[in-house]
Amino acid sequence: KVLLASLDTRRPAAMEQLALLATQAGVESLPIVAGQAATDIAKRAMSAARLQGYDVLILDTAGRTTLDEAMMNEAAEIAKIANPAETLLVADSLTGQDAVRTAKAFHERLPLTGLVLTRADGDGRGGAALSMRAVTGLPIKFLGVSEKIDGLDVFDARRVAGRILGQGDVVALVEKASQDLDVAKTEAMAKKLAKGQFDLDMMSEQFAQMKKMGGMEGLMGMLPGVQKAKKQLAEANISDKTLDRQQAIISSMTKQERKKPDILQASRKRRIAKGAGVDVAEVNRLLKQHRQMADAFKMMSRDGGKGFARMAGMMGGGGMDRLKAMGGGKMPTPDPKQLEELGKLAGQPGGLPGLGSGLPKLPGLGGLPGLNPFKKS
Protein backbone atom coordinates (compact mmCIF):
# COMPACT_ATOMS: atom_id res chain seq x y z
CA LYS A 1 0.00 0.00 0.00
CA VAL A 2 1.75 3.12 -1.29
CA LEU A 3 1.14 6.83 -0.70
CA LEU A 4 2.74 9.62 -2.75
CA ALA A 5 2.99 13.20 -1.49
CA SER A 6 4.21 16.18 -3.51
CA LEU A 7 6.17 18.75 -1.49
CA ASP A 8 6.81 20.92 -4.55
CA THR A 9 5.11 24.24 -3.72
CA ARG A 10 7.05 26.18 -6.35
CA ARG A 11 6.42 24.66 -9.77
CA PRO A 12 2.91 25.31 -11.13
CA ALA A 13 0.68 22.20 -11.19
CA ALA A 14 3.46 20.01 -9.76
CA MET A 15 1.10 18.51 -7.16
CA GLU A 16 -1.62 17.86 -9.73
CA GLN A 17 0.92 16.18 -12.00
CA LEU A 18 2.03 13.79 -9.24
CA ALA A 19 -1.62 13.02 -8.40
CA LEU A 20 -2.19 12.10 -12.07
CA LEU A 21 0.91 9.88 -12.12
CA ALA A 22 -0.28 8.18 -8.92
CA THR A 23 -3.61 7.38 -10.58
CA GLN A 24 -1.81 5.94 -13.62
CA ALA A 25 0.42 3.82 -11.36
CA GLY A 26 -2.53 2.57 -9.31
CA VAL A 27 -1.39 4.09 -5.98
CA GLU A 28 -2.76 6.81 -3.68
CA SER A 29 -1.66 10.45 -3.46
CA LEU A 30 -2.00 12.84 -0.54
CA PRO A 31 -4.96 15.23 -1.00
CA ILE A 32 -3.81 18.70 -2.04
CA VAL A 33 -4.26 21.57 0.45
CA ALA A 34 -3.51 24.94 -1.12
CA GLY A 35 -1.10 27.28 0.63
CA GLN A 36 0.66 24.75 2.86
CA ALA A 37 4.42 24.89 3.29
CA ALA A 38 6.49 21.89 2.22
CA THR A 39 7.38 21.01 5.81
CA ASP A 40 3.70 21.08 6.84
CA ILE A 41 2.79 18.81 3.92
CA ALA A 42 5.50 16.39 5.05
CA LYS A 43 4.04 16.29 8.57
CA ARG A 44 0.52 15.75 7.20
CA ALA A 45 1.78 12.95 4.91
CA MET A 46 3.52 11.19 7.80
CA SER A 47 0.37 11.34 9.90
CA ALA A 48 -1.84 10.08 7.05
CA ALA A 49 0.54 7.21 6.32
CA ARG A 50 0.49 6.06 9.95
CA LEU A 51 -3.25 6.45 10.51
CA GLN A 52 -4.27 4.77 7.22
CA GLY A 53 -1.81 1.87 7.37
CA TYR A 54 0.38 2.63 4.36
CA ASP A 55 3.47 0.43 3.87
CA VAL A 56 5.43 2.94 1.81
CA LEU A 57 5.37 6.74 1.78
CA ILE A 58 7.24 8.55 -1.01
CA LEU A 59 7.88 12.28 -0.50
CA ASP A 60 8.65 14.14 -3.73
CA THR A 61 10.54 17.36 -3.01
CA ALA A 62 10.85 20.33 -5.36
CA GLY A 63 13.26 19.96 -8.25
CA ARG A 64 15.93 22.54 -8.94
CA THR A 65 18.36 23.40 -11.74
CA THR A 66 20.74 25.37 -9.50
CA LEU A 67 21.91 25.01 -5.90
CA ASP A 68 19.55 27.24 -3.90
CA GLU A 69 20.34 27.71 -0.19
CA ALA A 70 16.71 28.25 0.86
CA MET A 71 15.58 25.11 -0.95
CA MET A 72 18.51 23.15 0.47
CA ASN A 73 17.50 24.18 4.00
CA GLU A 74 13.92 23.15 3.25
CA ALA A 75 15.06 19.70 2.07
CA ALA A 76 17.20 19.26 5.20
CA GLU A 77 14.23 20.16 7.42
CA ILE A 78 12.00 17.67 5.59
CA ALA A 79 14.62 14.97 6.11
CA LYS A 80 14.57 15.65 9.86
CA ILE A 81 10.77 15.48 9.99
CA ALA A 82 10.43 12.28 7.94
CA ASN A 83 13.61 10.42 8.98
CA PRO A 84 13.26 8.34 5.78
CA ALA A 85 14.64 4.85 5.21
CA GLU A 86 15.83 6.01 1.76
CA THR A 87 16.84 9.48 0.59
CA LEU A 88 17.39 9.35 -3.17
CA LEU A 89 18.82 12.15 -5.30
CA VAL A 90 17.34 12.19 -8.81
CA ALA A 91 19.77 13.73 -11.30
CA ASP A 92 19.78 14.29 -15.06
CA SER A 93 22.54 12.12 -16.54
CA LEU A 94 22.87 14.42 -19.58
CA THR A 95 24.02 17.40 -17.50
CA GLY A 96 27.39 15.72 -16.98
CA GLN A 97 29.68 17.39 -14.45
CA ASP A 98 26.90 19.75 -13.30
CA ALA A 99 25.05 16.69 -11.99
CA VAL A 100 28.22 15.60 -10.18
CA ARG A 101 28.58 18.98 -8.44
CA THR A 102 24.90 18.90 -7.47
CA ALA A 103 25.25 15.40 -6.04
CA LYS A 104 28.29 16.43 -4.00
CA ALA A 105 26.49 19.49 -2.56
CA PHE A 106 23.39 17.47 -1.63
CA HIS A 107 25.44 14.71 -0.07
CA GLU A 108 27.16 17.25 2.19
CA ARG A 109 23.81 18.53 3.50
CA LEU A 110 21.49 15.50 3.41
CA PRO A 111 21.74 11.85 4.50
CA LEU A 112 21.57 10.53 0.93
CA THR A 113 21.38 6.76 0.52
CA GLY A 114 21.44 6.46 -3.27
CA LEU A 115 21.18 8.04 -6.72
CA VAL A 116 18.68 7.83 -9.57
CA LEU A 117 19.88 8.94 -13.02
CA THR A 118 17.24 10.08 -15.49
CA ARG A 119 17.47 10.28 -19.30
CA ALA A 120 19.88 7.34 -19.30
CA ASP A 121 18.49 6.49 -22.75
CA GLY A 122 19.89 9.72 -24.21
CA ASP A 123 22.99 10.24 -26.35
CA GLY A 124 25.27 10.45 -23.30
CA ARG A 125 26.61 6.98 -22.57
CA GLY A 126 26.73 7.24 -18.78
CA GLY A 127 29.98 8.94 -17.84
CA ALA A 128 28.08 10.95 -15.20
CA ALA A 129 27.22 7.67 -13.50
CA LEU A 130 30.89 6.86 -12.96
CA SER A 131 31.71 10.39 -11.77
CA MET A 132 28.80 10.62 -9.32
CA ARG A 133 29.61 7.26 -7.80
CA ALA A 134 33.29 8.21 -7.43
CA VAL A 135 32.60 11.64 -5.90
CA THR A 136 29.81 10.69 -3.48
CA GLY A 137 30.50 7.02 -2.81
CA LEU A 138 26.74 6.45 -3.09
CA PRO A 139 25.23 3.54 -5.00
CA ILE A 140 23.27 4.25 -8.19
CA LYS A 141 19.98 2.43 -7.65
CA PHE A 142 17.86 3.17 -10.72
CA LEU A 143 18.13 4.52 -14.27
CA GLY A 144 15.30 6.42 -15.93
CA VAL A 145 15.06 5.24 -19.53
CA SER A 146 11.83 6.92 -20.69
CA GLU A 147 9.12 9.35 -19.61
CA LYS A 148 6.64 6.52 -19.06
CA ILE A 149 5.84 5.40 -15.51
CA ASP A 150 7.45 2.00 -16.13
CA GLY A 151 10.59 3.52 -17.65
CA LEU A 152 12.79 2.77 -14.63
CA ASP A 153 15.53 0.12 -14.71
CA VAL A 154 17.47 -1.29 -11.77
CA PHE A 155 21.09 -0.15 -12.14
CA ASP A 156 23.52 -2.82 -13.33
CA ALA A 157 27.18 -1.73 -13.46
CA ARG A 158 28.21 -4.22 -16.16
CA ARG A 159 25.44 -3.12 -18.49
CA VAL A 160 26.21 0.58 -18.08
CA ALA A 161 29.88 -0.16 -18.73
CA GLY A 162 28.84 -1.93 -21.93
CA ARG A 163 26.86 1.10 -23.05
CA ILE A 164 29.75 3.46 -22.26
CA LEU A 165 32.03 1.29 -24.43
CA GLY A 166 29.41 1.15 -27.19
CA GLN A 167 28.83 -2.58 -26.69
CA GLY A 168 25.07 -2.27 -26.19
CA ASP A 169 22.99 -4.22 -23.68
CA VAL A 170 21.73 -7.44 -25.24
CA VAL A 171 20.70 -8.92 -21.87
CA ALA A 172 18.44 -5.92 -21.18
CA LEU A 173 16.96 -6.30 -24.65
CA VAL A 174 16.06 -9.97 -24.02
CA GLU A 175 14.70 -9.12 -20.56
CA LYS A 176 12.54 -6.39 -22.06
CA ALA A 177 11.26 -8.81 -24.69
CA SER A 178 10.29 -11.33 -22.01
CA GLN A 179 8.41 -8.67 -20.06
CA ASP A 180 6.72 -6.67 -22.81
CA LEU A 181 5.97 -9.04 -25.69
CA ASP A 182 2.67 -10.85 -25.90
CA VAL A 183 3.89 -14.46 -25.91
CA ALA A 184 0.74 -15.93 -27.51
CA LYS A 185 0.82 -13.39 -30.37
CA THR A 186 4.55 -13.86 -30.85
CA GLU A 187 4.21 -17.65 -31.03
CA ALA A 188 1.36 -17.35 -33.55
CA MET A 189 3.43 -14.94 -35.66
CA ALA A 190 6.48 -17.24 -35.51
CA LYS A 191 4.42 -20.14 -36.87
CA LYS A 192 3.22 -18.02 -39.79
CA LEU A 193 6.72 -16.73 -40.51
CA ALA A 194 8.05 -20.30 -40.52
CA LYS A 195 5.61 -20.95 -43.37
CA GLY A 196 6.79 -17.85 -45.25
CA GLN A 197 3.62 -15.90 -44.46
CA PHE A 198 3.99 -12.18 -43.76
CA ASP A 199 1.15 -9.74 -44.42
CA LEU A 200 0.74 -6.08 -43.52
CA ASP A 201 -1.19 -6.90 -40.33
CA MET A 202 1.88 -8.78 -39.12
CA MET A 203 4.10 -5.87 -40.11
CA SER A 204 1.91 -3.49 -38.10
CA GLU A 205 2.12 -5.87 -35.15
CA GLN A 206 5.93 -5.74 -35.39
CA PHE A 207 5.79 -1.94 -35.26
CA ALA A 208 3.53 -2.11 -32.18
CA GLN A 209 5.91 -4.52 -30.44
CA MET A 210 8.90 -2.28 -31.19
CA LYS A 211 7.10 0.72 -29.68
CA LYS A 212 6.11 -1.34 -26.64
CA MET A 213 9.76 -2.27 -26.07
CA GLY A 214 10.96 1.34 -26.05
CA GLY A 215 10.69 2.42 -29.65
CA MET A 216 13.34 2.68 -32.33
CA GLU A 217 15.94 4.58 -30.31
CA GLY A 218 15.45 2.44 -27.22
CA LEU A 219 16.02 -0.79 -29.13
CA MET A 220 18.93 0.56 -31.14
CA GLY A 221 20.66 1.69 -27.95
CA MET A 222 20.63 -1.89 -26.63
CA LEU A 223 22.24 -3.46 -29.69
CA PRO A 224 26.05 -3.79 -29.76
CA GLY A 225 27.81 -1.60 -32.29
CA VAL A 226 24.70 0.33 -33.30
CA GLN A 227 25.85 3.65 -31.83
CA LYS A 228 27.61 4.29 -35.14
CA ALA A 229 24.24 4.12 -36.90
CA LYS A 230 22.72 7.06 -35.01
CA LYS A 231 24.06 9.56 -37.53
CA GLN A 232 22.52 7.53 -40.37
CA LEU A 233 19.19 7.48 -38.55
CA ALA A 234 19.25 11.24 -38.05
CA GLU A 235 20.19 11.92 -41.67
CA ALA A 236 17.42 9.63 -42.90
CA ASN A 237 14.94 11.43 -40.58
CA ILE A 238 14.03 8.09 -38.98
CA SER A 239 12.37 8.06 -35.58
CA ASP A 240 9.43 6.61 -33.70
CA LYS A 241 7.26 9.08 -35.63
CA THR A 242 8.16 7.09 -38.75
CA LEU A 243 6.63 3.98 -37.16
CA ASP A 244 3.52 5.98 -36.22
CA ARG A 245 3.07 7.15 -39.82
CA GLN A 246 3.58 3.66 -41.20
CA GLN A 247 1.06 2.21 -38.76
CA ALA A 248 -1.36 4.94 -39.85
CA ILE A 249 -0.85 3.90 -43.49
CA ILE A 250 -1.62 0.26 -42.70
CA SER A 251 -4.65 1.27 -40.60
CA SER A 252 -6.01 3.21 -43.59
CA MET A 253 -6.18 -0.01 -45.65
CA THR A 254 -9.07 -2.42 -45.78
CA LYS A 255 -8.71 -5.90 -44.30
CA GLN A 256 -8.41 -7.36 -47.80
CA GLU A 257 -5.70 -4.85 -48.77
CA ARG A 258 -3.67 -5.71 -45.67
CA LYS A 259 -3.88 -9.41 -46.48
CA LYS A 260 -3.20 -9.00 -50.22
CA PRO A 261 -1.19 -5.80 -50.85
CA ASP A 262 -0.67 -6.79 -54.49
CA ILE A 263 -4.20 -5.50 -55.23
CA LEU A 264 -3.14 -1.94 -54.32
CA GLN A 265 -3.32 0.06 -57.53
CA ALA A 266 -2.85 3.83 -57.93
CA SER A 267 -6.40 4.85 -56.91
CA ARG A 268 -6.28 2.73 -53.75
CA LYS A 269 -2.87 4.13 -52.83
CA ARG A 270 -4.17 7.71 -53.19
CA ARG A 271 -7.10 6.87 -50.89
CA ILE A 272 -4.80 5.28 -48.31
CA ALA A 273 -2.35 8.19 -48.43
CA LYS A 274 -5.17 10.68 -47.90
CA GLY A 275 -6.54 8.67 -44.99
CA ALA A 276 -3.13 8.48 -43.31
CA GLY A 277 -2.20 12.11 -44.04
CA VAL A 278 0.94 11.21 -46.01
CA ASP A 279 2.20 11.30 -49.60
CA VAL A 280 1.65 8.41 -52.01
CA ALA A 281 5.45 8.06 -52.15
CA GLU A 282 5.46 7.10 -48.47
CA VAL A 283 2.83 4.44 -49.12
CA ASN A 284 5.02 3.05 -51.90
CA ARG A 285 8.07 2.98 -49.59
CA LEU A 286 6.13 1.01 -47.00
CA LEU A 287 4.93 -1.50 -49.61
CA LYS A 288 8.51 -1.92 -50.88
CA GLN A 289 9.77 -2.60 -47.36
CA HIS A 290 7.00 -5.12 -46.86
CA ARG A 291 7.93 -6.94 -50.07
CA GLN A 292 11.59 -7.08 -49.02
CA MET A 293 10.71 -8.46 -45.59
CA ALA A 294 8.21 -10.95 -47.02
CA ASP A 295 10.84 -12.21 -49.48
CA ALA A 296 13.35 -12.59 -46.64
CA PHE A 297 10.93 -14.69 -44.60
CA LYS A 298 10.14 -16.87 -47.59
CA MET A 299 13.85 -17.56 -48.08
CA MET A 300 14.21 -18.48 -44.41
CA SER A 301 11.23 -20.82 -44.61
CA ARG A 302 12.62 -22.72 -47.63
CA ASP A 303 15.15 -24.63 -45.51
CA GLY A 304 12.33 -26.22 -43.58
CA GLY A 305 12.24 -23.48 -40.98
CA LYS A 306 15.78 -24.21 -39.74
CA GLY A 307 16.54 -20.49 -39.54
CA PHE A 308 13.64 -19.99 -37.18
CA ALA A 309 14.56 -23.12 -35.23
CA ARG A 310 18.07 -21.78 -34.70
CA MET A 311 16.62 -18.53 -33.43
CA ALA A 312 14.49 -20.48 -30.96
CA GLY A 313 17.66 -22.30 -29.95
CA MET A 314 19.17 -18.97 -28.93
CA MET A 315 16.75 -19.13 -26.01
CA GLY A 316 18.45 -22.31 -24.82
CA GLY A 317 15.87 -24.74 -26.19
CA GLY A 318 12.13 -24.49 -25.83
CA GLY A 319 11.79 -21.24 -27.79
CA MET A 320 8.98 -19.01 -26.59
CA ASP A 321 8.04 -21.34 -23.73
CA ARG A 322 11.48 -20.70 -22.24
CA LEU A 323 11.08 -16.98 -22.82
CA LYS A 324 7.75 -17.06 -21.00
CA ALA A 325 9.19 -19.03 -18.09
CA MET A 326 12.04 -16.58 -17.63
CA GLY A 327 9.80 -13.52 -17.80
CA GLY A 328 9.83 -12.92 -14.07
CA GLY A 329 13.56 -13.28 -13.44
CA LYS A 330 16.95 -12.16 -14.64
CA MET A 331 18.00 -13.30 -18.06
CA PRO A 332 21.30 -15.16 -18.24
CA THR A 333 24.30 -13.68 -20.04
CA PRO A 334 24.14 -14.90 -23.68
CA ASP A 335 26.48 -17.80 -24.43
CA PRO A 336 29.29 -16.67 -26.81
CA LYS A 337 28.62 -19.67 -29.07
CA GLN A 338 24.95 -18.71 -29.26
CA LEU A 339 25.84 -15.12 -30.17
CA GLU A 340 28.20 -16.43 -32.88
CA GLU A 341 25.37 -18.57 -34.26
CA LEU A 342 23.07 -15.56 -34.12
CA GLY A 343 25.68 -13.59 -36.03
CA LYS A 344 25.77 -16.24 -38.77
CA LEU A 345 22.00 -16.13 -39.00
CA ALA A 346 22.04 -12.32 -39.19
CA GLY A 347 24.44 -12.50 -42.15
CA GLN A 348 22.22 -14.80 -44.22
CA PRO A 349 20.04 -13.41 -47.01
CA GLY A 350 16.96 -12.25 -45.16
CA GLY A 351 18.80 -12.34 -41.85
CA LEU A 352 16.88 -11.90 -38.63
CA PRO A 353 13.12 -11.24 -38.88
CA GLY A 354 12.75 -7.60 -39.73
CA LEU A 355 16.51 -7.03 -39.80
CA GLY A 356 17.60 -8.35 -43.17
CA SER A 357 21.34 -8.88 -43.64
CA GLY A 358 22.87 -7.34 -40.55
CA LEU A 359 20.45 -4.47 -39.95
CA PRO A 360 19.26 -3.37 -43.39
CA LYS A 361 15.54 -3.93 -42.85
CA LEU A 362 14.50 -2.84 -39.39
CA PRO A 363 10.75 -2.19 -39.72
CA GLY A 364 10.29 1.39 -40.84
CA LEU A 365 13.97 1.98 -41.60
CA GLY A 366 14.29 0.99 -45.22
CA GLY A 367 17.88 -0.05 -44.70
CA LEU A 368 21.13 0.44 -42.85
CA PRO A 369 23.42 -1.31 -45.34
CA GLY A 370 26.43 -3.19 -44.11
CA LEU A 371 25.70 -2.77 -40.41
CA ASN A 372 25.93 -6.07 -38.57
CA PRO A 373 26.16 -5.64 -34.77
CA PHE A 374 27.11 -9.30 -34.33
CA LYS A 375 30.11 -9.18 -36.62
CA LYS A 376 33.45 -9.65 -34.87
CA SER A 377 35.92 -6.81 -35.35
**For residue 356, what pLDDT is reported?**
35
Cβ-in-10-Å burial (0-12, 13-18, 19+) of 203 comes to: buried
pLDDT of residue 164: 65
Q: How far apart are CA 136 and CA 115, in angstroms?
A: 10
Topology adopted by domain 2-172? Rossmann fold (3.40.50)
Average pLDDT, the chain: 76
**Burial (0-12, 13-18, 19+ Cβ within 10 Å), 226:** buried
Domain with CATH 1.10.260.30 in the chain: 180-347
The string of pLDDT tens digits covering residues 174-208 is 666 766 666 777 778 778 887 778 899 999 888 88
Higher-pLDDT residue of 68, 81? 81
Position 332 confidence tier, pLDDT thresholds 50, 70, 90: very low
How confident is the model at residue 87, as a pLDDT?
95
DSSP 8-state symbol, 6: E
Instruction: Identify the pLDDT of residue 180.
Output: 66
Separation CA 101–CA 131 (nearest Å):
10
Q: Give the pLDDT score at 163.
A: 65
Is the CATH code 1.10.260.30 the one for domain 180-347? yes
Report which of 38, 40, 50 is spatially closest to residue 11, judged by C-alpha positions.
38
Nearest Cα neighbor of 345 from 376, 374, 315, 377 is: 374
pLDDT-based confidence at residue 253 (cuts at 50, 70, 90): very high
Task: For residues 211-237, give the mean pLDDT.
Answer: 64
Q: Mean pLDDT highest for which of 14-23, 116-125, 158-167, 313-322?
A: 14-23
Q: Alpha-carbon distance 193 to 271, whole Å?
A: 29
Q: Does position 40 have pLDDT exceeding 60, yes or no?
A: yes
How would residue 223 be classed by pLDDT, with cut points 50, 70 and 90?
low
Phi, psi of 114 (to 5 degrees): 180, 175
Highest mean pLDDT: which of 125-129, 130-134, 372-376?
Answer: 130-134
pLDDT in tens, 288-311: 989 988 888 888 777 655 555 555
Q: Rounded mean pLDDT of 8-14?
A: 92
Residue range(s) occupied by CATH 3.40.50.300 in the chain? 2-172
d(CA 220, CA 217): 5
Chain segment 264-294, per-residue pLDDT in tens? 999 999 999 999 999 999 999 999 989 988 8
Predicted confidence band at 235 (pLDDT cuts at 50, 70, 90)? low
Give the residue with greater pLDDT, 318 vs 68. Answer: 68
Nearest to 330 by CA among 156, 190, 206: 156
- What pLDDT does residue 266 have? 94
pLDDT for 124 beyond 60: no
pLDDT band at 242 (very low <50, low <70, confident <90, very high): confident
Name the pLDDT band for 80 (thresholds 50, 70, 90): very high
What are phi and psi for residue 346, nearest 5 degrees? -65, -30
pLDDT of 327 > 90? The answer is no
Between residues 162 and 297, the one the model is more confident about: 297
Angle between helices 266-276 and 280-301 in degrees, nearest 10: 110
- Express each pLDDT in 138-158 by its tens digit: 999 998 877 888 888 888 887
Q: How confident is the model at residue 376 (pLDDT cuts 50, 70, 90)?
A: very low
Task: Give the pLDDT score at 85.
Answer: 95
- β-sheet with 2-6: strand ranges across: 28-29, 2-6, 56-60
pTM: 0.56
pLDDT of residue 373: 36
